[in-house]
Amino acid sequence: MNRRESAALPSPYFKEEHEALRAQIRRFVDSEIKPHALKWEEQGFVPREVLRRMGELGFLGIRYPAEYGGSEMDTLGSVVLAEELGRSTFGGTAITVLVHTDMASVHLANAGSPELKEKWMPDIVAGKAICAVAVTEPDAGSDVKGIRTTARRDGDHYILNGAKMFITNGVHADLYFVAAKTSAEARPSQSVSMFLVEKGTPGFRVSRALDKHGWRSSDTAELVFENCRVPAANLLGGEGQGFYAIMRNFQNERTVIGAMAMGEAQAAIELTLDYVTTRKAFGATLYDKQAIRQRLAELATKVEAGRQLVYYAGWLDAQGVDCTREVSMVKAYCGELVNEVMYDCVQFHGGMGFMRESTIERMARDARVQAIGGGATEVMLEEVAKRLVR
């Protein structure tokens, strides 16, 4: 009896619409990202016209309602987008898109008023209005309750004061979803609120663009709010609901970061296989060395395990299940694994792997932040640990 190859079998998670989306994104990556993204690395941002093109193709509204131009797909649609962008080998480009689609604009989609949604969601989906989320501060990262930016009600406005740090899309965004404390007396989890702040609002400015180790094509900034007057209508949800909104979206955010990491890891292994099967040393290819081929086999096994964990977490989220444990596992495992993969892939490229002209060198720099951003590995493991004992 002949056994079918596993790759020929339909996925238990993905439907035909997911696979069609994957094929479309992969074509876009090959034709419109890979040939040009080195220029974006040099200039420090992804051109606006590229994002608009992605909007035209429907990539920026995968999860959003059709009335705004979206496709109304589930969490696994975002997983497909993130994984394929990760496979592009340009982490900065990938995170530029994913912050817009799955980390920032969701705050408007989940908690914005009908008027705000009607005003902004069509442009967000079309790539005409680019989004950033501003939670992290110089003294508060994974500890959301520790933020110091304040928002004080003043008639029909709120007055924001404070600073935000490491904000992806921070230089070139049009809309900023900003976390600020609206109460000094409430419990920490009930003191944070979310606001939509438009670029050009008086009292709001980009303090400086930040120079990063990796993700060079992703613009990152420090933001400052000095008596910034924001209309009360731009409060997302009620006062004190910001912490819960941030926590709610962490399941989605960390799933797509994990998917992106596994896309990057798979691309790195494929790139390295191409190299070691052609590079010769001591009379044979590097792949003929048992230590190298077995290590690559081990890494491929781990990546397959990580990929399936991502898919499972995405599927759980699509079912409406609280999968905080599984998503935290995804973020911890995949963030560390992609760095493990990059380390050995650089090693197997030898001296070329240390050269700036090498793709694997750039990928290794980009991967380092995967164990930091969106929830550091140590924080994620604590989230898992809390749920091991019932």
pLDDT (tens digit, 9 = 90+) per residue, 49-79?
999 999 999 999 999 999 999 999 999 999 9
Model confidence over 177-201: pLDDT tens digits? Answer: 999 999 888 888 889 999 999 999 9
Closest by Cα among 204, 196, 205 to 178: 196
Cα atoms in the Cβ-side hemisphere of radius 13 Å centred on 115: 8
Closest by Cα among 54, 138, 69, 148 to 100: 54
Q: CA–CA distance from 18 to each of 49, 52, 63, 71 (Å)?
A: 25, 22, 12, 11
Does residue 347 surpass a pLDDT of 90? yes
Rg of the chain over all Cα atoms, to the nearest angstrom: 21
Q: What is the pLDDT of residue 248?
A: 86
* Token duo for residue 25: 């994104």
Q: Which of 137, 239, 253, 264 is catalytic?
A: 253
More confident residue, 169 or 1: 169
Burial of 10 by CB count in 10 Å (0-12 exposed, 13-18 middle, 19+ buried)? Answer: exposed
* Token duo for residue 148: 């110091």
Instruction: Name the pTM for this structure.
Output: 0.94
φ/ψ of residue 101, rounded to 5: -80, -40
pLDDT band at 1 (very low <50, low <70, confident <90, very high): very low
pLDDT band at 142 (very low <50, low <70, confident <90, very high): low
Alpha carbon distance 299, 267 (integer Å): 12
pLDDT band at 313 (very low <50, low <70, confident <90, very high): very high
Closest by Cα among 21, 26, 126 to 77: 21
Model confidence over 227-258: pLDDT tens digits? Answer: 999 999 999 998 999 999 998 888 899 999 99
Alpha carbon distance 269, 369 (integer Å): 19
Please give the share of the chain, as a percent, with pLDDT higher than 90.
88
Please, what is the angle between helix 75-86 and helix 16-28, to 10°?
A: 30
Instruction: Tell me if residue 253 is catalytic.
Output: yes
Does residue 93 surpass a pLDDT of 50? yes
φ/ψ of residue 151, rounded to 5: -135, 115
Model confidence over 13-27: pLDDT tens digits? Answer: 999 999 999 999 999
Does residue 2 surpass a pLDDT of 80? no
Cα atoms in the Cβ-side hemisphere of radius 13 Å centred on 329: 19
Alpha carbon distance 349, 144 (integer Å): 40
For each of the domains in the chain, give its residue range(s) and CATH number, in order of start.
Answer: 12-126 (1.10.540.10), 131-239 (2.40.110.10), 244-386 (1.20.140.10)
pLDDT band at 3 (very low <50, low <70, confident <90, very high): low
Given a contact cutoff of 8 angstroms between Cβ atoms, the answer to whether 160 and 150 are in contact is yes
